[in-house]
Structure 1
Amino acid sequence: MSRTSKGARSREQRQQQIVDYVLERGSASAAELADLVGVSLMTVHRDLDELARRGLLRKFHGGVSAQPSTVFEGSSEYRMGANRELKDAIARTALRLVEPGASILLDDSTTALTLAGLLGGVGPLTVATNYLPVIQELKSLPDVHLICLGGNYSATHDSFLGLPCIEAVGALSVDMAFVSTSAMNATMTFHQEHELVQVKRAMLDAAATSVLLMDSSKMPRKALHRMAPLGDYDKLVVDDGVDPELLAAAGDVIDVAVAPTGNV
């Protein structure tokens, strides 16, 4: 192996170590990461610049974070590890809405991915998705007719986006769409990235019934772009940690999932 190849591999391994560390802790300082991987502060800053460009981490003065902000959603890998028990409870509740023979859309949310993991016993189903982990979850299930919605691949979201994806969604007419987003209040849902908003809106338009899957950690958050009014969704599935005032505002469209740990 050439010296250049060894150097590239060493940089990749170092950057993966940084990503793993920040994903586990949520954030870290540049000095902390330099000590972790045993390189200079300047080298770590170059690594962080690259990781931020790739959308894996969000850089701020003195360090990086994997946590979402009003303009940064967080990588797919980070979202998979967040609020697992709440997502499990929400997915189990949402599963009751899925009937054999149905056609459904699943977006690139990790809550929809959790629901996908429960679909094996429900078939036959037709499932369309733009999320690569959902495709991998469902591709071997004999009772699932899987439609892969292509487009421009986003490594940050591990999904397919852009105009080709929107056009592929627009060609469908499905029974139900299960989507999630980054933030909501009693009247509106929000997301940080306009490109994802466009795909999610197309999914809502393509479905006879739209289902919003939201864990309570997303309720205090804000995000840059308005996605859709809460009243546009036919069903809202949340966990039991949601503010009672929001539950009252949502009315009879809401299903409340009880997490194993009780209220959060």
Structure 2
Amino acid sequence: MTGEGSGRGSVGRVAERQARVAEYVLEKGSVGIKDLTDLFGVSLITIHRDLDELERQGLLRKLRGHVTAQPTSRFDSSVRYRLRTATAEKEALARSAAAQVRPGDSVILDESTTALMAARLLPEKSPITVITNFVMAMNELHGLRGVDLIMLGGEYLPALEAFGGAVCEASLSVVRADVVLMSTSAVSDCFALHQDQEIMRGKRAMMNSAKRRILLVDHTKFDKVALHRLAHLSDFDLVIVDAKVSEAQIQELQENEIPFEIASL
């Protein structure tokens, strides 16, 4: 045993382990609690403490003998969690997305962490205009030379660190951008799905305000379930996926004539 549960481990190591536990459960979907003790080399008491904290954050759900990462609105809305999952894949998607943007373009970014990674690359395309409801993207881009930033207002959503609601949607109705870069909660049967209806409405408004629509989805989003249909994948001009998507998922995209690109890791 590592002794993490005894109090000798630092707060930083505990947080890092909890992040690894959460990412592992998300990847697997459902995991036995005893299996986690073996995998992470900690006691049953320690892993229960980790899982209690992750459940408190809304990241996982503890059930009898196992833990699950099935999507819920709270789970999907956790920026704190999404920032630390599938980071290499999201960076690859962001690079491919940035390659679709030209100097002088106006770009809408949603509140996804994948779009945030794309935001970090957009100054290379300056002069550029960025329109976003995501406070984290604003913090990345404000004050940079060659970047004109338009912040969408509305109701502030703390879990997302973003603005939404009717005011945000109304703001989008008076702009017309060259491209929107966005992500979503899940993809199933060639539909982009989202767990939160209000967030989904904002994403649809973004789609309606852009000439080109680009969806960025890493492999963890495929064959997952979320409550609401955002759009069929054919409604996007390009779907960018990472290299870990399965052959069956690629075949499904091809059979449905979905324009897609695989981002190299």
Normalising by structure 1, we get a TM-score of: 0.77
Q: Which segment drifts farther, 201-210 or 26-35?
A: 26-35
* 1:127-206 superposed matches below 5 A: 127-206=130-209
Distance verdict in 2 for CA 1:113–1:67, change over 3 Å: farther
Which residue pairs with 1:69 in the alignment? 71
Give the secondary-structure state (helix, strand or coil) at the position aligned to 2:76: coil
* Structure 2 CA distance for aligned equivalents of residues 89 and 21 of structure 1: 24
Which residue pairs with 1:25 in the alignment? 21
Give the secondary-structure state (helix, strand or coil) at the position aligned to 2:230: strand
* 1:182-261 superposed matches below 5 A: 182-242=185-245, 243-249=249-255, 251=257, 253-259=259-265
Give the secondary-structure state (helix, strand or coil) at the position aligned to 1:136: helix
Contact 1:104-1:126 within 8 A present in 2 as well: yes
Deviations 1:134-160 (A, max 9, x none): 010111211110001111111211111
Consecutive unaligned residues of structure 2, counting only runs of 5 or more, are 1-11, 26-30, 34-43
1:104 counterpart (107, 129, 132) = 107
Give the secondary-structure state (helix, strand or coil) at the position aligned to 1:69: coil
Q: Which segment drifts farther, 18-27 or 111-120?
A: 18-27
Contact 1:70-1:222 within 8 A present in 2 as well: no
Contact 1:186-1:249 within 8 A present in 2 as well: no
Contact 2:234-2:258 within 8 A present in 1 as well: no
Matched residue count: 233
- Percent identity, aligned pairs only? 32
Contact 1:235-1:254 within 8 A present in 2 as well: yes
* Structure 2 CA distance for aligned equivalents of residues 64 and 118 of structure 1: 40
Distance verdict in 2 for CA 1:223–1:124, change over 3 Å: same
Give 1:33 shift. Answer: 7.1
Amino acid at match of 2:19: L
Give 1:235 shift. Answer: 1.0
1:119 counterpart (117, 122, 134) = 122
Give the secondary-structure state (helix, strand or coil) at the position aligned to 1:126: strand
CA RMSD of the aligned region, Å? Answer: 3.0
Give the secondary-structure state (helix, strand or coil) at the position aligned to 1:201: helix
Normalising by structure 2, we get a TM-score of: 0.77
Distance verdict in 2 for CA 1:252–1:48, change over 3 Å: closer
Contact 1:105-1:127 within 8 A present in 2 as well: yes
* Structure 2 CA distance for aligned equivalents of residues 63 and 202 of structure 1: 42
Consecutive unaligned residues of structure 1, counting only runs of 5 or more, are 1-15, 37-43, 260-264
Distance verdict in 2 for CA 1:161–1:212, change over 3 Å: same
Contact 1:18-1:33 within 8 A present in 2 as well: no
